[in-house]
Amino acid sequence: MSTQPEALRLAGTTPSLRGGDWGDKAAAELRRLHALNAELLEALRVAEASVGDMGSLHIVQAALAKAEGREA
């Protein structure tokens, strides 16, 4: 089983499957979104570690769980 995220797997499909300019643009967008998602996950982790009240902590933890594909 691969640990590579699905977006990066799809972005790296063979050129014959991507086909043309639109495929390259789609692959670049998948890579961009994956990188942005990684930044947002890190920001959520920092927020989780620094949030003070339990209500806010629960919101941050639920968002982090959802983003990581876990049950909230």
Is 5's pLDDT higher than 70? Answer: yes
What was the pLDDT predicted at 24?
A: 77
* Helix, strand, coil percentages for the chain (3-state, nearest 5): 75, 0, 25
pLDDT score at 23: 75
Give yes or no for a contact between 41 and 64, defined as CB atoms under 8 angstroms apart.
Answer: yes
Top pLDDT among 4 and 15 is at 4
Q: How far apart are CA 47 and CA 64, in angstroms?
A: 10
pLDDT digits (tens, 9 = 90+) for 8-65: 777 777 555 555 677 777 888 888 888 988 888 888 888 888 887 777 888 888 888 8
Greatest Cα pair distance in the chain:
52
Neighbours of 13 (CB within 10 A): 13
